[in-house]
Amino acid sequence: MKTTITKKHSHLIQILIISVLSLNLMGCHTKVDEEITENFTQNGDTIQVQGKIKSQLKTCTVLKQAHQLELITAGTVKAIPNLYAEIGSPFSGRVSAVHLKLGMKTKPGTPLYELISPEFIETQKLYFQAKTAYQNARLILKRQQDLKQHGVGTDKDVEEAKAQYEITEKEYQNTSASLRFFNVDTEKLVLGQPLIIRSPISGEVISNDIVLGQYIKSDDLPLAKVAELNTVWVVGMVKEQNLNLINKLDLAEIATIAFPDDKIKGTIYHIDEIVNEDTRSVQILIECHNPDRVLKPGMYVNVNFTKKASDAAFIPAKSLLQYNDQSYVFLAIGKDKYLRRYVETGITDKDQVQILSGLQAGDNIISEGAFYLLNAK
């Protein structure tokens, strides 16, 4: 006999099948809940496991392992300000001699170039005038003091001569100081001599645009640069949320695109006190020895801040559970007996979580299957 099922009958059969399946699923769910509940007993934070659930739990031992904290950021190489000088001219004039060349080593006072400057000659004239006035005032004061001593001069004359002497002395000292500021030896100064521009620091000439016969203005941009690059700074920017890590870091490793295999060690020299409001970052200065001149000012580099390796306790991330705002694990305290232990966590490295407090090396915890005990609240 052939049975024919109409659309109406088909619809009624589908409803009947879904209802039966739903009842079966509800019955299974209730049975699983009952089985899980029956597989452990709870007394406060202590849980005794029994039955089938034991096969679902895996444990591990908390071990301390060497861990090195790292933070990678971009950086820029910079010459150290006290070891870097831009050479300009304090007066306008024409270059009469050039002594410097690229790569030339310098010491403080090394001649770089000479400048014939009317402004400098006027300064020389003021110096010689002040010197002459000072010498004359000194002679007049001595004469008035001699006259007073022999009963010819008066106190008033002596006081006036002394006041004039003090004024001219101060003017002479000021003009002398202005020349010495430009490394001019006033004892050997000859009126009309050129100004010798000298290096203010030890280092080497890294830039030179000075040409013989060139006219230089006092407000021109610097035409030469001298720097000591055996030690440089690397400027790194660290986000403000990572500053707590930087305070704990001891070293920094610098890598360049040009020399990826050369890892240059550096030490944190200074952490800026001001946060950049646009980038929410703080500037970090790293001091690096640079004898091979691999690091060049203006170069972009990668900075890997690292903390010296130290022992730290780590546990699998899946063994960590959360209740409200607290983290906890199940600590083994006996045969099939576990204690809910709240812990303080640190950083997460791959699938491992650092434990700052709450556990110690040698503790056994549930590493897998802890979710079966989540009903223990």
Q: What is the CATH number of the domain that holds 181?
A: 2.40.50.100
For residue 39, the model assigns a pLDDT of 73
Between the two ends of the chain, the Cα-to-Cα distance in Å is 61
Instruction: Tell me if 32 is assigned to some domain.
Output: no
113 & 238 share domain: no
DSSP H or E segment with residue 27: helix 7-38
Of 252, 279, 306, the residue at which a domain comes to its end is: 306
The span from the CA of 329 to the CA of 341, in Å, is: 5
The span from the CA of 53 to the CA of 63, in Å, is: 26
pLDDT at 17 over 50: no
Those residues whose C-beta lies under 8 Å from the C-beta of residue 61, and which sit 6 or more positions away, are 362, 363, 364
Residue 283 belongs to domain spanning: 71-82+227-306
254 & 125 share domain: no
Distances (CA, A) of 218 to 36, 99, 170: 89, 20, 27
For residue 375, the model assigns a pLDDT of 67
Let me know: does 159 contact 169? Beta carbons within 8 Å: no
111 & 47 share domain: no
For residue 72, the model assigns a pLDDT of 87
For residue 21, the model assigns a pLDDT of 37
236 & 116 share domain: no
Instruction: Tell me if 12 is assigned to some domain.
Output: no
The span from the CA of 228 to the CA of 199, in Å, is: 12
Here the CATH number for the domain that contains residue 52 is 2.40.420.20
pLDDT at 248 over 90: no
Kindly report the pTM of this predicted structure.
Answer: 0.61
- The count of domains in the chain is 3
Strand partners, 105: 204
The span from the CA of 328 to the CA of 226, in Å, is: 60
The mean-pLDDT minimum among 65-74, 96-105, 219-228 falls in: 65-74
> What residue type is 290 in one-letter code?
N
* 57-95 burial code (b ≥16 CB/10 A, e <16): bebeebeeeebebebebebebbbbeebbbebebbbbbeb
Instruction: Tell me if 36 is assigned to some domain.
Output: no
**Of residues 361 and 209, which shows the higher confidence score?**
209
Instruction: Tell me if 197 is assigned to some domain.
Output: yes
174 & 196 share domain: yes
Those residues whose C-beta lies under 8 Å from the C-beta of residue 226, and which sit 6 or more positions away, are 84, 85, 87, 106, 112, 199, 200, 201, 203, 204, 205, 206
| Tokens, residue 120 | 């400098």
232 & 180 share domain: no
For residue 183, the model assigns a pLDDT of 87
pLDDT at 31 over 50: no
78 & 167 share domain: no
Task: Quote the distance between the C-alpha of residue 110 and its chain's center.
Answer: 34
Of 177, 195, 224, the residue at which a domain comes to its end is: 224
Instruction: Tell me if 105 is assigned to some domain.
Output: yes
* Averaged pLDDT of the chain: 84
Instruction: Tell me if 21 is assigned to some domain.
Output: no
Instruction: Tell me if 47 is assigned to some domain.
Output: yes
For residue 373, the model assigns a pLDDT of 80
pLDDT at 16 over 90: no
> What residue type is 238 in one-letter code?
V
Going by their DSSP bridges, the two strands 215-216 and 84-87 should be labelled as unpaired
